[in-house]
Every structure is written in C-alpha cells, then in structure tokens.
Chains A and B, each alone.
Chain A
Amino acid sequence: MTDTAALETLEQDVLAQIAAATDEAGLDAVRVGALGKKGSVSLMMRSLGGMSPEERQVMGPALNGLKDRLGSAIEARKAMLEAAALDLALASETIDVSLPVRPEPKGSIHPITQVMEELAVIFADMGFAVAEGSDVEDDFHNFTALNFPEGHPARDTQDTFFMKPDAEGQRKVLRTHTSPVQIRTMMSQTPPIRIIAPGRVYRCDWDQTHTPMFHQVEGLVIDRETHMGHLKGVLQDFLAAFFETDEVVTRFRPHHFPFTEPSAEMDVRYERVGQAVKVGSGDQWMEILGCGMVHPNVIRNCGLDPDEYQGFAFGMGVDRLAMLKYGAPDLRDFFNSDQRWLGHYGFSPLLQANMATGLS
C-alpha cells in the first residue's frame, strides 16, 4: 500500500488530536496513539519492511517526515500547556502588592555625636588629634594648673559641681571645661602639640540654653612659633568648614580668661533663618567661642618654658554648634531621649562625615 493520501489523512487526524488535548495526560495519550510502540505511525513504519524498494523509497522519507512533524507538534503543544498551567497556578498566588511591608525600626545617630565627628574631621585635616579625659577631675587639673586664682567664682558651688569631700577633705570636681585634658596632654607629651578635646562638661545651670551637663570642644596648639594670627586663621578656617560657607565674617574681641593671655572672644555675622542660623550674612553678631594665647603660667604649670613654647587654646559648645547648624531650639531636648526628637534631629548611621563626601 503506497497511499500517501492516507498518510496525509493520518497526519491531519493526529494534529487535530494534539490541538484538542487540554492537559499533559491527554497529550501523552495522543503521543502514544501515534508514536508509541503500537501507535498508528509506528505500525506503518513497521510495514516498510514488506514494501518493494521503490515503495520504500517513497514511503520511508514520508513516514519519517510525518514522525518528526508530529513529534514537534506534540512538544510545542506540551510547552504551551505547561505555560498555561503555570500561568493559572501563578494567578492563584496573586497578592495585593500595595499591602505595607513589615515595619523596621530606623536607628539614628545623635546630633551631638554627628557634630563631634564633624569637628574631628575638620581638625584632623589641620593636623589635630582628638584627646579625651575623665569627667571627674581634681582641683589641680581643672583650676589650679589653669591659673584660676583662689576665690575665683568658678571655684564656687554656685557654678561648679563638687563631689563630697573624702576622708582627707579633698573634694573632686566635675570638670567645668575639657581644659584638664589640655593640661594632661601638655604634661605628658612633648610639643609640637595639636589636639582637640571634646567631651562632657558640667556647670550648675538649667534653662532653655543651659543644662547642668553639656558638651564642649577645646583646641590646643603648642609649639615654638604659633601666634595669635594663627589662632584667628584656624578659627576662621574651622567656621568656614563647619558652616560650609565661604563667607564667614568674624570679629575678634578682647576678653578675659584666667588661662589665656591675651584672651579673646570670636563673634560671627549671622542671620536667623527659621530656627537655624545662617552664618556669613546678616547684620547681627553672635558670640561663638572663647580663645587666646595659652597663659605663661599654664605653660609653666605643665613643666614647659613659656619663653620657649607658646601656642593657643580655644573652646566652644558642641551642643550649641549643633543647635546653630541644625536648628534645634531647646538645649534640654538634647538630653530628653524623646524618640520623635531623636528621629527628627538624628542622623543616618550610613552618613559618616568626611572631606570627600561632605560633613552631613
């Protein structure tokens, strides 16, 4: 039998069955019915042996072609059915993507820490190291070495916190400034010295702009040539870097401190912009820090010769700098641990002040 027309009929028939199959099982039944061991196409392949060479020459390729075409059609249908089944399954897994995510708490860095790190970066760039010391100090390091005369008001319990006297009648003091760190540095290191000393300091005061504990940063430079012009230069450089502006206008005024001679205070030009302060413009002066050339008595008290070594010191409030730069109006809030305040005025832990990517 050399009926190619029959082959064609078979092919149409099987293709129709493939198209009609709606699942993998049905499709497999079609495959077995056509291409399985006893399938219609396989039986015809088997009949090739009984054919004449001429018939075989025609029917062989025709049957092989049919087998391949049907195989491909089955594969294609299978892929289509699988895709449809997957689509159906996935459709059943649909979720409302607008539902909110699991809450994750947002941590933050306190503005005092942020400002301290900004200070460290700016002064590190000018060659300053950061020195620290303890909060509970003795009279020598907090007052005497710093040339505070006996009877100076700072030695009063009205201004300064004291510990109860010990058995020998000695009473420790809560440092009123970080200057004891300067003293300890000068007594333990050989000049040249360039340090900043940030930390907690304490004074008996409590209102909107004063808290019994606050933070201060002091700077100290001791060498053989640093003079008051350098002091002015360093502070102007610092203020420009800290307030991130080119137009810092400062005023250097004489003042008095026991530990510096000459002594000065520095004012900056500013204007208020909301709660924050814009430094550089405006017509107001704001006192921002105290400073001066280290008093010869202080240098001498630290075992150095004031005719050989000289230098300057300055001090300013870290919290106040934070208030001015970042616009937090009430100092007391800095120490209240109000989650909302911490979130609002705090900084991302991913932010790290540096000269390459900025301070904040």
Chain B
Amino acid sequence: MKFPLSWLKYHLETTASLDEIAEAMTMAGLEIEEIDNPAEKFGAFTVASVKEAVAHPDADKLRVCTVETVDGIKQIVCGAPNARTGMRAVYAPLGAYIPGLDFSLDKKPRKIRGVESSGMMCSAKELELGEDHDGIIDLEGDWAVGTPAVVALGQDDVVIDFEVTPNRPDWLGVRGIARDLAATGIGTLKDVPIEPVPGTFPCPVKVELDWPEACPVFAGRLIRGVRNVASPDWLQKALRSIGLRPINALADITNLISYDRCRPLHVYDAAKLSGNLHARRGAGDSDTFEALDKKTHTPTETMCVIADEAHCLGFGGIMGGTYSGCSDATTDVFIEAAWFDPLITRATAKATGIDSDAKYRFERGVDPQSIIDGIEYATRLILKICGGEASETAVFGEIPAAPADIEFPISEVKRLTGLDLPRAEILRILTTLGFKPTGAGDILTVGVPSWRMDCSLKADLVEEVARIHGFDKLIATSLARPSVRRPAPATVMQLRARYARRALAVRGYQESVTWSFCESSQAALFGGHGAGLALENPISSELDVMRPTALIHLLTALQANADRGLADARLFEVGPVYLTDGPDGQLLVATGVRRITSGRHWTGSRAPDLFDVKADALAALEAAGAPAASLQVAPEARDWWHPGRSGVLRQGPKNVMAEFGEIHPRVLKALGIDGRVLAFEIVLDAIPQPRKSSGLKARTQLDRADLTPVKRDFAFLVDKTIAADSLIRAAKGADKALITDVSVFDVYDGKGVPEGQTSLAIEVVLQPRDKTLTDEEIDTVAAKVIAKVSGATGGTLRG
C-alpha cells in the first residue's frame, strides 16, 4: 500500500519528521517496504536565477547565461530556446547525476564552443519530473535561489510503501493508517466529517439481495445530470502519487475513496440499467459478460454477480462490466456501496484470475459500517466535480453485525507480555484505536470498532496494547535454566543420524542434501513412488512425486560432478524417503554412492569394489548402534541392484537394515549415468532399539587371556552356491568357547578345483584359557570344525 505524506497529513495532525513517521509505522507493525523521497533523490537540484542570457559568440543556438545559484554566480552555456534573462530555472551543479539522461555532469567546468560552462539548467524530462523537453524549466513564482527544485515544482511529496498484513484491511485506507499512527503518539487524528448530502427525490433503482451470505447489504443512490469530466488537478495528482492513472472524474472519485477510506464503490451508467438490480449467484452461460479488464467471464453459481433484469453487470466487489460502465457521455449514474463476503470474493477472484483494488479490500474484510459514509463522500465529490442532482440513499438488506464486545481483564497485558502498564495507558491506547473500553473494575468490557473484525479475543487486545506501547519496551528476559539435571535431549534417531553421518564423512564421503521429491519415471526405476505421494501441483514435472529413495538424486549428482571433470565424487545423504502418506510413512535412510573408477598414482591404484561399500555400510551401521558384527549377509537386494553383485545386511530373515553393491546397469542407463556405480542404503529406522540402560555406565570386566592363541588353517571345497558367510558361521560355531575368530584368507576356483566348486581357505583362531592346548585337544577342535562346516555347507576338506 502506497500513500503520499500529504495525504496522511490530511487525516493526521503531526509535526513529526519523515524519519519519526517511518519509525512509528515500523514499530506499530506497518512494515515499510520503500520510501520515495524526491527531496533526497533530487537533492542536487535547486532554484537558480538567470541574471543575464546572451547569445553565444560562436554558436547560433546556444546562449551564455550568468546565473545566480546556490553555489554563487555561475556561467552556464545553455541550448534551450527559452533561456532568458530574469527567469527562475532549475540548476544542476557540476558532478550532478541527471536521471533523465542517465549520466553525471563532469566534475570540472568544460568549454562548449570555447565558452566555459559550470553546471546545467534542466528540463522537466531531464529530471524525470515531467514530459516537457521543449526547453528548460521556467518556474512560476519568485522562488528564492537555493530552494529545492522539487519544492518549487510542487513535487516534494514523500511516498511511503508498506506491507499490509492480511489482518488489517483498515490500513488499505489512509485514514486507517492515520488512526494507528495517532495512537502511537506522533500526532492526532483529525476530525474529517463527511456531511451527508440530502437527496431531492426517492431512489428509483431497487436492489434485491438474492444471496445474502455473499452480499448482505447494498446502499444505492442515483445522481442525475452529471458531466463525467476530467478530474481536477488535486485529484489527478493524488491518484498519480499512488501509482494510479486518472481516467475520468467518476472513476477517479471511487478510486480516491477506496484508498482514502478502504471503501470500494461502483458507479453504473444508470441509462444502461433495466429494471431492478440483483445481487445473486452467477447463472453460467446466460451471464457471460465482458468485464472492465476487457476479458469475457462466465460467472458460476459460486460467484456473486450484480445483474439487472437483462444483463449481468459485473462480479460483486471485484469488477464491473463494460456494458454498464461510465463513459464521457454518461449523464445519470447509480452508485453502489455494498458489502461482499471475503471468502466468496476471494474464491471468485481466484477462479477468474481477476485482481482489482476492490477485490483486494473485500477479500480481506471491508468495514461494513462504511457504506453510508462511503456513498455520502462519493455523492459530495460527484456533485462538486460533475454536478447533478442526487436521490435519497436507499439501503437494502442489513449491515452485518459489529464484532462482539470482549471481556478484558487488564492483567492479561502483564500475563502475556510481562509489561506492567498503568490502566490509564491501556485505556488510552484502546480508545485512540477506536475501541470502547468500559467498566471500572479489573475486567473491562471492550467494544470493538466495526473496522476491526480481526479482534475477538483477549489476546488480540493484548497485541493492540503492546504494539502501540512499543515492543521495544518489552523487557528481554532470559529463560531460567531448569533447576534439575536433565538427560541429554537428543533422541535415539537423532544420534543414529549424527553418528552415521560422521562415520561416512570420516570414510571420505561428502554429505549432500537433495530434494525430497523426484521424477515419477525415475522413481519407477526404484519400485515406484508410494501410494498417495504424487504431488498435485509439483514445482516442475521433474519433481512430481515424493522420492522412494535418495539414490536418484545422488546418482545424477555423481554424473553431474563427472561432467564437470570431478570423476571420483563420493556422496552421501542422511535424509527421508517416503513410503506412504501416513505419519509413519517416512524412513530415515543413510545413502551413499561412488563410482567404480581408479585414479592413477605412482604407487599403483585399485578400483573400488562392492566390499568397499559393504565396509562403508557396516561402519555406518556400527556407528549408528546396529549389531554390525552379527548381521547376516544375503544376496537379496532388490531389482535395481546388480543381480550378482549386491546384497543385504539383515537381522533375522526379515529385518533388512541395509542394501549394498553395484547399481543395476539398466537403472544407470535409464538415469543417463556412465560407467558403474557402487552404493549403499541404510535404513536407520530398522536398527533395533538399544536396551534400556540400568543407568550405570561401567563396563563389564575385561576378559583378557594370558595364553598365546593358536592358529590353524583349513581349505574347504564347497559348492559355488554356498555363501562364505555360512561357512564362517559354521566354523565359528564348532567350539564357541575356544574359537575367537575365523577369517577367509583365500578364495580360489582355478586349476585343481572341480567345476562348480570353490576352495575357501580359512584361518581359525583358538584362544586357550587355563592352560596351553595339547595336540590332541587342537585336533579335536579341528575335527569339530570340519564336521560342522561339512554339515552346514556340504563342503569337504581340500586334500
């Protein structure tokens, strides 16, 4: 909302400076967006007096002027035909920026055809203060030398633009702004009464309110014999100052009242009306009409229209139609001052795409009581500017009820804000804002003004009091630290995420944060998006569903980095994936990706393989608190993984905590990714809850045997389908007391190993406890290992 300071001062008696007004607005909640201060913008330009203008000795069209300026007597060479002795002109000193020419004058005098010139005298166009470029500004009046040019030109009005919060439609009228500023104490609200204009005949137009929810009240009045002339200068200037283009007197008057009082009006050419008017639901095709935006609209039954017996005349409270609009030829007019429901107005505007000053006000809530003042104000201005004779005002329907009184214990101010304000101050603030507090006790009964439909609760009044008293006076008070010991607040999931992140970053991965949404066709490569997780209004078709995996963005990021020449990015993200649209439908997943690529190095280099990402996954799982060592490994990863080079880490048959391995080449191809990629996904939600601790953090006693461990090697021939993990587990299980570790040190299926079999060589570590093991004891364990392995895997000891 824009307004010039002079307009504000029409309603506000104040001696406050611009800075003080701006500060008062800010602190009352009227957030300033821009202040356009011509005195600042045009500060360099001042009034000068041309003492003498003589012909240039060396150029026909130039004149050499002796000018009295704020900087003293200057010689200025001027090309304007109207430069003459005795005139008052606008002087631009050396170095000044000339906005209309978009350049700055030289800082030193320059010679023009051999004559030195110090500065410039400007045209209106050069200052962007008008269109006139026939000559330099020839000021009317005997302005003192040095007077700011904008003052002499009458263009010194400051225009303030501020944000109107949706709860305060009354700020969409300058008078509403003035009222709040008066309450802040920087001035007083002037009494600007609107004298009613008595009608000389009954209003002949009747209005039927067929849809009272949308339009409960409609005041109308006919004015005969008007001349729709151009508006007087003061009105045109006022509208221009807020960025509106003057049209004609009737349109300009309604615009003025809309901005002055937040009271939208509409004026119909009465000659076009036939029969009674109706405020009713739209009727579809038969109501199709052209609105003042020159577009054709078809009102539906959810939209409120104003219609006569023959035509739809416009959308109520939004925009009228061209048919009944006023033209230069209009002589009789019918003025509408009605109230339209905010929600219906808003829905209609949204459906039709129409934006207008009236709609902007009605959708936020116009003061219903303003219909009478509004129509009287309009009548007075029309009669004054356009002449004519007014009918009586006819009011149809009922003005919606004023907001209910609020029972207000004044202690609420202190309870909610900590401010200890005297009762008198509370009463003063409420009263100057237009509230009507009554009652002598601790609880006031506060009448709410009709323009403050946002106020219905005690807290609303607390806000009014605190806002006007000043939030700067709130006493900043630190929250008391809880007096009791509190356990660390981080939740189990937060800790899992934190530790998984750090484990992966320590292992060389860079943490990334990627979109929660992805493209549906890409989601389809990973099992598709979850039910109910397609967006109705995606920001782009490439982000149209909630992602079922973080792999998509990480994989494409790998390629994007490779395209930039960064071939070996390792990226991870700890973030959500979405399975369903329910409150538990989201999982926290740690996802990592890297390419199979080996850099070149003088020591030689090794390309990573799936055991690197398996190690990464295990490390992250362990860091996050999963029982990594006891997890089962199985080649059961889903079908976007390489069928032979991927696996899952799970607890029991069902609880899959991670998938790892190579991404399926088909998926990579579909995503446009070159080469091969290793990845892992760890579902942090799948990690079992830690056991409730007893509170004691002491560790169990350290079990540390003194005797040297014994190592024995075995090589087994097993079928290729046998997982090494099952062989290791079998060996470990052969003697749980003695065997402390089993490791694979060789996997071989070359010469000497039968077709379809693999030789797995393991080292078994035996840890004697009480005494050294005898050869017999060692042999017994070895036999058990062989028996157990062969029982579990069908493997035989390799000869």
Contacts and interface: CB of A to CB of B under 8 A. Distances in A.
Interface string A133-147: 111100000000000
Interface string A83-105: 00000000000000001101111
Contact of B538 (A106, A133, A161, A165): A161
A233 B478 CA distance: 5
B457 A261 contact: yes
Contacts of B506: 107, 349-350
B392 interface: no
A228 B473 CA distance: 11
B513 A335 contact: yes
Contacts of B512: 110, 337, 342
Given A107-B504, A108-B511, A349-B505, A252 B472 contact: yes
A255 B479 contact: no
A346 B510 contact: yes
A228 B479 contact: no
A71 to B, nearest CB: 38
Interface in B403-437: 414-419
B461 to A, nearest CB: 10
Contacts of B501: 109, 113, 349
Contacts of B166: 152-153, 256
A253 interface: yes
Interface in B512-553: 512-517, 532-539, 543, 546, 553
B104 interface: no
A252 B474 contact: yes
Nearest to A124: B489
Given A102-B601, A151-B342, A157-B536, A237 B585 contact: no
Interface string A116-145: 010010001111111011111000000000
Interface string A337-356: 11110110010111010000
Given A99-B602, A234-B479, A346-B511, A136 B561 contact: no
B415 A103 contact: no
A337 B593 CA distance: 12
Interface in B643-662: none
Contacts of A100: 602
A136 B533 contact: yes
Interface size class of A (residues with CB under 8 A): 35 or more
Nearest to B538: A161
Contacts of A297: 457
Given A134-B584, A254-B27, A334 B513 contact: yes
A163 B532 contact: yes
Task: Choose among B486, B508, B554 the residue with the greatest number of A CB atoms under 10 Å from its CB.
Answer: B508
A107 B459 contact: no
Interface in B7-39: 26-29, 31
B417 to A, nearest CB: 4
Contacts of B566: 339-340
Interface stretch (B293-301, B491-499, B740-748): B491-499
B578 A135 contact: yes
A176 interface: no
Nearest to B472: A252
Given A99-B602, A162-B536, A261-B459, A337 B554 contact: yes
Contacts of A125: 481
Contacts of B516: 135, 174, 200, 202, 213
Contact of A296 (B346, B459, B482, B553): B459
Contacts of B27: 253-254
B545 to A, nearest CB: 9
Contacts of A251: 26, 472
B475 A229 contact: yes
A278 interface: no
B168 interface: yes
B440 interface: no
Interface residues of B, number: 98
Nearest to B467: A254
B578 A136 contact: yes
B494 A130 contact: yes
Given A130-B490, A256-B166, A213 B474 contact: no
A204 to B, nearest CB: 6
A63 B383 CA distance: 149
A110 B165 contact: no
Given A234-B478, A335-B515, A295 B532 contact: no
Given A156-B350, A261-B463, A335-B514, A206 B489 contact: no
Given A136-B578, A157-B537, A165-B536, A112 B513 contact: yes
A348 B501 CA distance: 11
A337 B491 contact: no
Which of A124, A127, A128, A349 has its CB near the most chain B CB atoms (within 10 A)? A349
Contacts of A283: none
A178 to B, nearest CB: 13
Interface string B563-604: 010101111001110100111111000000000000101110
B464 to A, nearest CB: 9
Contacts of B419: 228-229
A6 to B, nearest CB: 57
A27 interface: no
A306 B561 CA distance: 54
B764 interface: no
A179 interface: no
A204 B466 CA distance: 34
B502 A349 contact: yes
B560 interface: yes
A78 interface: no
B535 A161 contact: yes
Contacts of B491: 130, 132
A126 B481 CA distance: 6
A34 interface: no
A293 B459 contact: yes
Given A261-B457, A263-B463, A295-B459, A337 B535 contact: no
B488 interface: yes
A349 B507 CA distance: 10
A54 interface: no
B576 A227 contact: no
A38 interface: no
Contacts of A129: 489
Given A229-B477, A253-B29, A296-B458, A262 B534 contact: no
A164 interface: yes
A236 interface: yes
A172 interface: yes
A150 interface: yes
Contact of A113 (B168, B511, B581): B511
Contact of A256 (B165, B414, B513, B575): B165
Pick the 10 closest A-B CB pairs, nearest first. Answer: A254-B29, A105-B508, A337-B557, A107-B505, A349-B505, A229-B418, A262-B463, A256-B165, A129-B489, A227-B418
Given A103-B601, A227-B416, 9 more contacts: A130-B489, A136-B581, A200-B516, A230-B479, A232-B471, A262-B417, A335-B514, A342-B511, A349-B505
17 contacts: A106-B508, A107-B504, A107-B507, A127-B481, A129-B489, A130-B494, A133-B583, A134-B583, A162-B535, A212-B515, A228-B416, A228-B419, A237-B479, A261-B460, A262-B467, A334-B513, A337-B554
